[in-house]
Amino acid sequence: MPRLSSLHLWIKNYISNKHIQIPSAEIHYIISGITGISKEHLLIHKDSIVSNSDSEKIKRAVKKRGNHYPLQYIIGSEEFMGMDFLVTPGVLIPRPETELLVETALKYTADRKYRHILDLCCGSGVIGLSIARMDRYTLVSLSDNSASALRLTHKNSNRLGLSSRVKIYRGDLFSALPVRSKFDLIVSNPPYVPHNRIRHLQKEVLYEPVKAIDGGRKGLEVIKKIIQQAGSFLDEDGILIIEHDDTHKEYLETFCAGEDQPSLRYIKTIDDLAGLPRLSIFSRKHN
Ligand code: GLN
């Protein structure tokens, strides 16, 4: 059976022959993810023995990674808000900037008035489940149109021990929910990338489900629907927090005012750590 050191040599040669770059931290993730040996152990015991089948799996994974296949799909998980969430191909990989959405939501839930939460377009469930996990007082509904996304949401919810405070629905936007559902807080990271920009994104993104990313011509197609419909699903004083592209701020500032009978009022936009306008907050309009 191969030793770790010879596997490392194979990987090194593969990388240099193919003129590709894979950071060594990622190699450690791949080996540890496949063998189940901790990264710390791997670093100390450089001559550990690896089974033939694990060695083949590791080589295949390195080849995939060399073709920009996302690391998260190889190891099957991603860290978000300090927790480990399962991710599989067919579901969007959580982005660090989306933690801002969770942090902002938690500021509202800290005030006990915001208890019933909806995560719309939940994907693997990271936003809603993080809120449920970090604020034990909340009751969280999550919905998505994708069956494979919801399978993951279920698994992630169970892994985090949240199933008693979490409900999961399948369907297109708000039509997924039971009639007359009302929430204090709706959070959403819908598909919002302007269509023509998708092919210019990192190659890794091309392995992700395009329907979780493509927001139509300007990236606003789903966002507009959500803002138009959210009012009927929010309690009085209810809040919508929505993640969006950094080109959307100006449009969103005035969108509600320009509607015939707006049910929401624009409150403010918050910048992400890169200083880009990343999410906007709306409140249910008082009549
Ligand atoms: N922020 C993601 C990206 O840049 C897109 C997420 C989304 O459309 N919701 O790929």
Tell me, what's the pLDDT at 285? 76
Q: Is 193 in the pocket of ligand 1 (CB under 6 A)?
A: yes
pLDDT along the chain (287 residues), means of 10: 91 92 92 91 87 96 95 95 97 97 97 94 98 98 97 98 98 96 98 96 95 97 96 95 97 90 92 97 83
Tell me, what's the pLDDT at 195? 97
Q: Specify if 237 maps to a domain.
A: yes
Angle between helices 4-18 and 24-35 (to 10 degrees): 130
Q: Specify if 268 maps to a domain.
A: yes
Distance CA 59, CA 93 (A): 23
Q: Specify if 207 maps to a domain.
A: yes
Distance of CA 190 from the midpoint of ligand 1 (Å) = 8
Q: What is the dihedral of CA 240, 244, 249, 254, to 10 degrees?
A: -40
Residue 189 CA, closest ligand 1 atom number: 9
Distance of CA 192 from the midpoint of ligand 1 (Å) = 6
Q: Is 244 in the pocket of ligand 1 (CB under 6 A)?
A: no
Tell me, what's the pLDDT at 92? 97
Question: What does the block give as tokens for 281?
Answer: 């907050």
CA neighbours closer than 13 Å in the CB half-sphere of residue 44: 4
- Looking at the structure, tell me whether residues 95 and 34 fall in a common domain: no
- Looking at the structure, tell me whether residues 141 and 225 fall in a common domain: yes
- Looking at the structure, tell me whether residues 62 and 116 fall in a common domain: no
Q: Specify if 183 maps to a domain.
A: yes
Q: Specify if 82 maps to a domain.
A: no
Q: What is the pTM of this model?
A: 0.93
Question: What does the block give as tokens for 124?
Answer: 């693997």
Angle between helices 52-66 and 24-35 (to 10 degrees): 140
Residue-range definition of the domain harbouring residue 12: 4-67
Q: Is 198 in the pocket of ligand 1 (CB under 6 A)?
A: no
- Looking at the structure, tell me whether residues 129 and 22 fall in a common domain: no
- Looking at the structure, tell me whether residues 112 and 36 fall in a common domain: no
Specify the number of domains making up the chain: 2
- Looking at the structure, tell me whether residues 237 and 117 fall in a common domain: yes
| Cβ pair 213, 90 in contact under 8 A | no
